[in-house]
Structure 1
Amino acid sequence: MGVRRNLLKLLGGCAAGGGLAAGILAPVTISAGVVAADVSDSVIRITPTAISKDLPGVTTITDRDGTPIASVFDQYRITVGAGRISAAMKDAVVSIEDRRFYQEHGIDPRGVARAAISDATGGDRQGGSTITQQLVKNYLINVVDKDDPAAQAADRADTLTRKIREARSAIDLDEHLAKDEILTDYLNVVEFTGKVYGVEAAARAYFGTTADKLTVPQAALLAGMVNNPVTYNPYTHPVNAQRRRDTVIDAMLANNAIDQQTATQAKAAPLGVTGPNVPASTCYGAQPDAGFFCRYAITYLEDAGLTEERLTHGGFTIKTTMDSSVSAAAKQAVDANVPVRQPGVANTMAIVSPGATSHEILALVANRSLGTDAGQGQTTRDLVADVSDPFGAGSVFKVFTAAAALEAGTASLGTPLPNPPSQCFPLPGNRQCYTVHNDGDYPDPITLADGLATSPNTAFVGLEQRVGLPAVVAMASRLGLRTTMRSNDVGQKPDPNSSDPQRNQAQADYFQDKPSFTLGNSPVSPLELANVPATLMSGGVWCAPTPILSVTDAAGNPVGIKTSPCEQALAGDVAGTLMEGLSKDTVSGTTAASARAAGWTRPDIGKTGTTQTNQSVAFVGGVDKYAVSSLVFADGGKPGQLCPSNPVHIGSCGHGAFGGTVAAPPYFKTMQTILGDR
């Protein structure tokens, strides 16, 4: 009944403007139930309260202090209220688009009659649309059907059904909204060019100002563009744009919105456009030290239930845990260690803040940056958070063997461990034994504490055999490598269609019978590796590394985010004992020489790692409230041995890079910058 009542109002309005228009429309609307159904469908999709709430907007991502680091959006739109739009802008749109806007009721009977007569007599096609009708059309095209090209085509179709449906919705909006609300909604909805939608975004993009400060010539240019954003684009068609602007100014004069002097001055003004200044719409536009953080924050929120569409359309403010000063220091250190465009070599650094209730990520950086230009050292992979190091963290994994042994009571820090120069360890199922060599001269036996500092191989493979591989593999997951251990041995999601165990099994399953696990020759996530010392420094409490402090919607309301609960992964006394065992690395262990060269004297924990082929070297450490991983690994299409000369490069250098000499120095440099005199 509501549809028919408003259709009768529509026909009545048309009759008031001319009997011919009513005569044209009446047979269609009275006889066609299908048309009424189409009209009803359109009205259901447009409610007066939904328009201002549902407009796609810009999601802003900030650091922990609220400074923007990136934005993500599909439509560059900044919704504003009526009070934040200049009178000149409102006058310009009304004067050129709908002079009787404040008198008509959603539709303009005179305009409808004029358009109907022109169409019926073969004259030029005319719209006769009011601003309210244009609001309906633009809302359907730019919001409701933005991802449906077929529906958008129907919204633009030059059919009587579409026009009646549009007019019906306009009448409904006019009944429920004040004129200023309709005009404001219209100016927030319309497209200007490209990804620029709404008057506030247009003011910023084209003039570097805000909608409330738009002058008469600026407002006239923008008002003229909404008729045809392509034809009147001031950058590609400046002559057309100026003519259209001047036409709008003349309309404002005729509508008594401005006086003759103002009109003359406005038409004499240059276009004055800048840019267009439109921010990047993805994390690729973030600063080099923030791109990976932005990417991980988005991925984290998507995993927590916020869809990509909600994030790119919702106008959220996402405050991350990123500490810009920490991130800048880390970025400077890795760039100094491995140049940004050094072919085939990546240096990542992740920094996590330990805690019993959360592990906040402070920095995710690499000598690479997030982007699409490989020639500039950019990558599209999340090099820091993903399981991105395909070669592993080397002897860092001995930490998991030590933790499992301490927990089980198999060894204490003072326990002497057999440590021959080489040994062949038996494998399950009477297979050929697994031969291991030490790289250097070590005492035999060696205590667990000294072994953690100097990293012999045979002592730890022997200890791993005594503790049992299942316990050591499980400890890696417990202390932090959750996603890593769920990936396969090439760093990807296990492929059930593959016949290769390295590809069809998760690492947690694949390494159940492989003693090489403690030597760290499997893919790993740099971020998760940093969370391992964070767990130890938190008294054995594991928390998922979080990049998010808060999320608020466009209205400033908090948005709840699902998070994983923290858990006691390792008893506090065991974690403390293990930290004591890791405290000698920078004093008398594998990083002692680098620490002395850097002037490093702070008490800390640390462990280095170097893979057998020197394709990856690592250092994990912790000092004060910072848990850190620094990995340098081959990341090119032709990976090879890392050579330690300046700069680090891929080559055949006989004696390759080590964790203590190549991965640890960026840690010292970063922490010295952050801690200063503390």
Structure 2
Amino acid sequence: MALSALSALFLVFAFALVRSTPALGDIRKARNDRPAVILSADGEILDELKPANREWVPLGRISPYVVAALIATEDRRFYDHHGIDWKRIAAAAVHTLSGDRQGGSTITQQLARNLYPDDIGRAPTLTRKLREAITAFKIEAVYSKDQILETYLNTVPFLYNAYGVEMAARTYFSKSADRLDILESATLVGMLKANSTYNPVLNPERALQRRNTVLGQMNKYGRLGPDAYTRLKRQPLHVDFAPQTEPPGAAPHFSAQLRKWLIAWADRNGYNLYADGLVVRTTIDFRLQTMATQALGWQTNQLQWIANQAWNERTGCWPGNDLFQTFMRQTPDYSAARKAGQSDRDAIRNLASNSNYVRALCRSKAQVQAGFVAIDPRSGDIKAWVGSPDFSAEPFDHVQQARRQPGSTFKPFVYGAAFADGARPGDTIMDRNVAIPLPGSAIWRPTDAEPPTERPMTLRDALAFSRNRITAQLMQREGPAKVARLAQAMGVRESPLEPVPSLALGTSPVTLREMVSAYATIANRGAYVEPRMVTRIEDQHGKVLTEFPSAAPVRALPAEAALTLVDVMRDVVTRGTGSDIRTRFGIRTDVAGKTGTTQDNADSWFILMHPQLVAGAWVGFDDGRVTLGSYWSQGARSALPMVGAFYDMALRARAIDPGARFSPEKRPPPPARARPHRFLFWRF
């Protein structure tokens, strides 16, 4: 009676587990290797969202030696069972009870674990084994034996980001899976027991022993003759190691950000990004993306040459440089030397004598980084996105992930607030030294490269020539809190802004994407449009699943104030700090922009507005303590050429209209004035 009750409870428990295992529909999808395709707005493929570095090949394109070795080693009764080998389980139990633990999993059970690691798990519990067995039965019900073998061999991992036997064959033997000989096949199958332990690159002796074990199993079960086995097991281990890297797409940083959003969307809507063959149509313009990549690569190559002169083993990267000593003290090599008993002085001296160590550390610290993004101000569509000079070497995204001080590119928010309050470009403030009191009896004294003239300066000239003293005084009039709110309304919506007087000079770190989005608001006559990455998603047959229209514009800055700000910022590129746009790159179309350089020369910025496209660039180093010096770190010399080259290409290709204008030929009339203040003076 008790046994019957126990059996009934077990059946109820097993039935409950059935519902917690993958459904048959999900299992049918597991063999579908149809990743979502990301397309540009003009129909070019930007990327494919593969779950791993894998190329699916049919069973007919896999060496028969691989199949023979796999079955002989992992599941010799593979064709005789329906997912569970009861004889093997019984034998494994006997061995385990006698102290020789053995596994009893079939190829189908292993496939279940590989396909559904989260659903099944790997804990050595009865619940896990039951889930695995149930899933194996479901797989056998859906797939033929050959389909199970094909799926298994295309999904099993082999280290070095190689998934499936095709990528493993290329990685370890520099050939395709159909050309693997019997020794190579046995080596790869031998790795399945423990990838790291039997890694033929790092552990060749263990890999050789394991390969011969596989050959022995093939001999034992009639898949290899005795003479051949005796001859083959004497052969050395031949490896032709060539790690396989997935080539990045045309917009890899954009794709990386988009993948995060798509995963959440797919989860909410019941789609599989890796099997349903979705087509994701984005806002990226393939031509503009190519131009942005070229412009960023061209400029960073020039700057890298300059950085290499300033940071090498004879100048910046030598132990006499206190900063480089600091870098050395932050490395694991230094920590290991100190733990070994070396003094700080000895550790620094010994590490400095290692030229390979110094060169590698120098290269890692002195690698020029940059980010570039372009947005259509009318729709919010992101048209180009380059997060670093080389995605493979630096996947960190300097468009979306990096927060850096924007320097003088933040100043237009101060002037925008003033124009919204009725100020005019011709209003003046005295160019003089100022001392601005801060909480706690501190004093802030903003300075400029040029000495004060002690004469009135117009707001137009102050922004065109990026005068800090004038901007600081204007900030006092408008108030830091008001300026911070305006910047947030215009597009700086993720990074916190500290409402302090120095915010006028860009002391609060922000992202490049936020800044370009905010400038797009200026170009769009003060109406903020949330940036858009995707226009629609289709199924594999072209049926539209969902569309994503442009966000409704939200008024952030009065239109007249925005037009006035654009007009003043025209002077930046006509006769101010951004004049190289006209003189060097010959851009004659209606554009306006702003340069930016932080006080410590760590960050260089330039953002340029065109009625149809706003683009901005940031240049610097991942470690803000490394700079190009006061000359080359200026936004006009580091970031501006990148943007200038981009617009030159875009205009020549007619990717944007050279005749487009922000407003009629006549400059916009000044906004109504709230109160008379032709001459503005503050004394601190």
TM-score (ref. length: structure 1)? 0.66
Local SS of the residue matching 2:567: helix
SS, match of residue 517 in structure 1: helix
Q: Is the contact between residue 63 and residue 180 of structure 2 (CA under 8 Å) also seen in structure 1?
A: yes
**Which secondary structure does the structure 2 equivalent of 1:422 belong to?**
coil
CA–CA distance in structure 2, aligned partners of residues 468 and 121 of structure 1: 79
The equivalent residue for 1:402 is 415
Report the counterpart of residue 641 of structure 2 in structure 1: 665
For the 8 Å contact 1:356–1:539, the answer to whether it is kept is: no
Q: Which amino acid letter does the alignment assign opposite residue 109 of structure 2?
A: V
Pairing partner for 1:452 from 441, 444, 463? 463
User: Could you say which residue in structure 1 is the equivalent of 2:591?
Assistant: 604
**Distance in 2 separating the partners of 1:388 and 1:246:** 56
* Structure 1 residue corresponding to 2:145, chosen from 152, 175, 179: 179
Q: Distance in 2 between matches of 1:324 and 1:227?
A: 45
Task: Please report how far the alpha carbon of residue 360 of structure 1 lies from its aligned counterpart in structure 2 after TM superposition.
Answer: 0.6
Tell me how far 1:400 sits from its aligned partner: 1.7
The answer on whether the counterparts of 1:480 and 1:535 sit within 8 Å (CA) in structure 2 is yes
SS at match of 2:370: strand
Q: Tell me the equivalent position of 1:473.
A: 484
For residues 381 and 122 of structure 1, the distance between their equivalents in structure 2, rounded to whole angstroms, comes to 53
Residue deviations 1:182-225 (CA, integer Å, cap 9, x gap):
44444345444575444444345445566677677765654555
Q: Could you tell me whether the CA contact under 8 Å between 1:436 and 1:458 is conserved in 2?
A: yes
Match of 1:618 in 2: 605
Contact 1:361–1:545 (Cα < 8 Å) also in 2: no
Instruction: Say which of 423, 430, 433 aligns to 1:411.
Output: 423
Find the residue that maps to 1:389 and give its secondary structure. coil
Q: What's the counterpart of residue 532 of structure 1?
A: 518
| Contact 1:204–1:210 (Cα < 8 Å) also in 2 | yes
The amino acid of 2:398's aligned partner reads: L
Counterpart CA distance in 2 for 1:111 and 1:359 is 60
1:168: how far off? 6.2
2:508 is matched by which residue type in structure 1? S
Q: Does 1:359 align with 2:329?
A: no
Structure-2 change in CA distance of 1:267 and 1:229 (3 Å): same
What do residues 464-513 of structure 1 show as CA deviations (whole Å, max 9, x unaligned)? 555555543322122222223xx2xxxxxxxxxxxxxxxxxxx2xx42xx
Tell me the SS of whatever aligns to 1:627. strand
- Rounded to whole Å, the distance in 2 between the matches of 1:113 and 1:300 is 48
1:172-251 matches, within 5 Å, as 173-175=139-141, 177-193=143-159, 196-207=162-173, 222-223=188-189, 225-226=191-192, 229=195, 233-235=199-201, 236=204, 237-240=206-209, 242-244=211-213, 246-247=215-216, 250=219
1:175 Cα deviation after fit: 4.6
Distance 1:56 1:30, change over 3 A: farther
Which amino acid is 1:534 matched to? A
1:461 Cα deviation from its structure 2 partner: 4.7
Question: How much does 1:119 deviate?
Answer: 4.8
Hey, what's the Cα distance between the residues in 2 that align with 1:589 and 1:242? 71
Tell me what 2:662 maps to.
Answer: none
Residues 64-85 of structure 1, C-alpha deviation per residue, up to 9 Å, x if partnerless? 4756679785x65556666776
C-alpha spacing 1:165/1:345, structure 2 compared with 1 (3 Å): closer
Q: 2:630 aligns with which of 633, 640, 643?
A: 643
Partners of 2:102 and 2:638 lie apart in 1 by 72
Structure 1 window deviating more from structure 2 (56-65 vs 329-338): it is 56-65
Letter of the structure 2 residue corresponding to residue 537 of structure 1: A
> Secondary structure of 1:419's partner?
strand
1:517 equivalent in alignment to 2:503: yes
Letter of the 2:417 partner, please give it: A
1:620 is paired with a residue of what secondary structure?
A: strand
* Deviation by residue 1:86-145 (Cα, 9 ceiling, x = unmatched): 7665565445554554444444566567667x759969877666xxx43224523x3444
CA 1:100/1:660 → structure 2, altered by over 3 Å: closer, same or farther?
Answer: closer
Q: 1:154 to 1:477 in 2, by over 3 A?
A: same
CA shift, 1:333, in A, is 0.8
Taking a change above 3 Å as real, the CA distance of residues 298 and 179 of structure 1, as seen in their structure-2 partners, is closer
- CA distance in 2 between counterparts of 1:402 and 1:299 reads 36
CA contact (8 A) 1:591 1:661 kept: no
1:384 to 384, 389, 399: 399
Structure 1 CA distance for aligned equivalents of residues 627 and 160 of structure 2: 45
Whether the 8 Å CA contact 2:187–2:208 is kept in 1: the answer is no
2:407 to 390, 393, 396: 393
Residue 417 of structure 1 deviates from its aligned partner by 1.2
**RMSD of aligned Cα (Å):** 5.5
CA contact (8 A) 1:221 1:244 kept: no
Letter in 2 for 1:139: A
Counterpart amino acid of 2:515? Answer: L
Contact 1:61 1:71 in 2 (8 A): yes
CA shift digits 1:422-463 (9 cap, x unpaired): 265988999999766664577955554444323344554555
1:667 aligned partner, one-letter code: V
Query: Number of aligned pairs?
Result: 582
Task: Look up the match of 1:152.
Answer: 122
CA shift for structure 1 position 587 = 2.1
Q: Is the 8 A contact 2:431 2:456 kept in 1?
A: no
- Residue type matched to 2:488 in 1? S
Per the alignment, do residues 47 and 299 of structure 1 end up closer, same or farther by CA in structure 2, a change over 3 Å counting?
Answer: closer
Distance in 2 (CA, whole Å) between partners of 1:216 and 1:224 is: 12
Offset at 1:559? 8.3
2:295 is aligned with 1:329: yes
Relative to structure 1, the CA distance from residue 298 to residue 261 in structure 2 (aligned partners, 3 Å threshold; closer, same or farther) is same
Q: Distance in 2 between matches of 1:659 and 1:146?
A: 49
After superposition, the Cα gap between the structure-2 partners of 1:266 and 1:553, relative to the gap in structure 1 and judged at 3 Å, is farther
Q: Which residue, out of 275, 284, 306, partners 2:241?
A: 275
Q: 1:313 to 1:272 in 2, by over 3 A?
A: farther
What letter corresponds to residue 619 of structure 1 in structure 2? F
Please give the per-residue CA displacement for 1:527-586, whole angstroms capped at 9, x wherever unaligned: 322223333334444333455577789999988798993423445555444323322222
Pairwise CA distance, 1:389: 1.8
In the alignment, the residues of structure 1 paired with residue 384 and residue 199 of structure 2 have an alpha-carbon distance, to the nearest angstrom, of: 43
Give the Cα–Cα distance (whole angstroms) in 2 for the partners of residues 84 and 638 of structure 1: 54
1:596 to partner: Cα distance? 2.7
Q: Relative to structure 1, is the Cα distance of residues 461 and 83 closer, same or farther in structure 2, using a 3 angstrom cutoff? A: same
> Which residue does the alignment assign to 1:493?
none
Per-residue CA deviation, residues 45-80 of structure 1 (Å, 9 max, x unaligned), is 25444345468999789684756679785x655566
Task: Give the distance between the partners of 1:147 and 1:53, measured in 2 at CA.
Answer: 16
Using the TM superposition, give the Cα deviation of residue 352 of structure 1 relative to its aligned residue in structure 2, in angstroms. 0.9
Q: Given the alignment, which residue of 478, 483, 499 partners 2:494?
A: 483
Q: What is the distance in 1 between the residues matched to 2:544 and 2:142?
A: 29
Q: How far, CA to CA, are the matches of 2:198 and 2:468 in structure 1?
A: 71
For 1:529 and 1:420, the matched residues in 2 are separated by 29
> 1:544 and 2:558 equivalent?
no
* TM superposition shift of 1:334: 2.9
Fraction of identical pairs, as percent: 25
- Who is 1:348 aligned against? 370
Bigger CA drift: 271-280 or 545-554? 545-554
- Whether contact under 8 Å (1:352, 1:627) holds in the other structure is yes
Structure 1 residues 192, 319: closer, same or farther in 2, change over 3 A? Answer: farther
What is the CA-CA distance between 1:420 and the residue it aligns to? 1.4
Residue 592 (structure 1) aligned with residue 579 (structure 2): yes
TM-score by length of 2: 0.65
The match for 1:18 is: none
Superposition deviation, residue 327 in structure 1:
1.5
